[in-house]
């Protein structure tokens, strides 16, 4: 059974700090996706990484896919209150997705 483990589960930081969240698995994935979910809303796709070692940047967010395609990380530089939310990683399972439990990020001003 494929599982995605995310850490940390909760993160509370001040505006301007940097942070990294992790997504790990014992299984190889053909791709991994990162979603952000705000309270009362559905998850919104941030990025898809498909190549081992790939690094993608989205403004202040940097996503990396591990060389062995078993793990991924999300780094946020100079976090802002608008970054607050639940960050989920997801990988393909057949033609659907399996999700990690997520990292709840709170950024206070």
Binding residues vs another protein (CB under 8 A): 4, 30-31, 33, 40-45, 48, 50, 88, 90, 92-102
Structure tokens at 14: 């001040």
Q: In angstroms, what CA-CA distances link 57 with 19, 25, 48, 64, 90?
A: 15, 22, 11, 9, 18
Structure tokens at 73: 């990380």
| Closest distance of CB 45 from another protein, Å | 5
Q: In angstroms, what CA-CA distances link 22 with 27, 40, 41, 76, 94?
A: 15, 24, 23, 12, 23
Pick the closer one to another protein by CB: 24 or 48: 48
Pick the closer one to another protein by CB: 50 or 68: 50
Pick the closer one to another protein by CB: 29 or 66: 29
| Closest distance of CB 10 from another protein, Å | 10
What is the spatial distance between Cα 58 and Cα 39, in angstroms, rounded to a whole number?
22
| Closest distance of CB 41 from another protein, Å | 5
| Closest distance of CB 101 from another protein, Å | 5
φ, ψ dihedrals at 73, nearest 5°: -135, 155
Pick the closer one to another protein by CB: 48 or 64: 48
């Amino acid at each position: 059974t494929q599982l995605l483990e995310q850490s940390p589960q909760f993160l509370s930081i001040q505006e301007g700090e940097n942070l990294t969240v992790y997504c790990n698995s014992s299984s190889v994935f053909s791709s991994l996706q990162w979603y952000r979910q705000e309270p009362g809303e559905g998850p919104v796709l941030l990025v898809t990484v498909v190549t081992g070692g790939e690094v993608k940047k989205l403004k202040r967010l940097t996503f990396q896919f591990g060389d062995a395609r078993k793990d991924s990380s999300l780094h946020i530089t100079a976090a802002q209150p608008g970054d607050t939310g639940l960050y989920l990683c997801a990988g393909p399972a057949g033609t659907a997705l399996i999700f990690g439990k997520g990292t709840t990020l709170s950024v206070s001003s």
